Amino acid sequence: MSRALSSADRVKPQSYSSVAAEYYDAERHPTCRNFRDASRSLLRDALCIIPRSGSALEVGAGRALLGELAPKGFDRLILLDKSEEMISYSRGFNQIADLVVGDALSLPFEGNTFSLIVASLADPFNGPRFWNEVRRTLKLGAYCVFTTPSYEWASSFRMRSAYEQQGAAFFQTREGERIYLPSFVEPEASQRKMIESAGLHLLQITSIGTAAIPEPHSPKIRGCESVVSGYIVQRT
């Protein structure tokens, strides 16, 4: 079995701007495509049961799924990403949404603003500060849909890889540069505790495995029963 990087070898994760130019290249990075397809499926199902009204926000949007799946029904749609290069992928939605460069850990909005917050593959900022911001900016009774690579996948694959490190995802560019991106994937019990500690109510947890993800599959996800997990959360 390959060993993960030792503490002496670990490097500080970089910004997603460093990989933005090729992040959505499905041939170079099929795992990213597989994760996005899985997250889209979970979000689509969640939107079938969540009312569409008021203002909606997608955090860490990149090429926004909310822009694809739910352009109608909201009075206002905001797509936010910390990386200007990543949010540029959502320029095609600028007729229906406001594009904002901003930090998920310090959302540039007043409290009690949103009827829905979507955070797709939000492991880069999955921590107490983010969840406190979700509670602050959600209206009473409003919802958050959060997806993340599953802990089953992260714990099994990253333990087998010689290049992975805790709290980060390994990404190799087309030029061969090795880059680490922030990634905080928690066991289900820890994720629940983090959400509830922010004063939010966890309504539902679902997951999706390789059988439900369109092919071709990256070798990194093959045989994994749970690839992406989805959480539906409400401010009560």
Instruction: Tell me the domains of the chain and their CATH numbers.
Output: 24-149+199-234 (3.40.50.150)
Q: Is 219 helix (H, G, I), strand (E, B) or coil?
A: coil
Residues sharing a CB contact under 8 Å with residue 128, sequence separation 6 or more, in sequence order: 194, 197, 198
Q: Which residues of the chain have pLDDT under 50?
A: 1-9
Backbone angles phi, psi at 210, to 5 degrees: -60, -30
- Model confidence pLDDT, tens digit, residues 46-74: 999 999 999 999 999 999 999 999 878 89
- Name the percent of the chain lying above pLDDT 70: 91
Contact 63, 125 (CB under 8 A): no
Could you tell me which residues are beta bridge partners of residue 100?
80
- The per-residue pLDDT of the chain, averaged, comes to 91
**Structure tokens that stand for 184 in this block:** 């905080």
Q: What is the pTM of this model?
A: 0.92
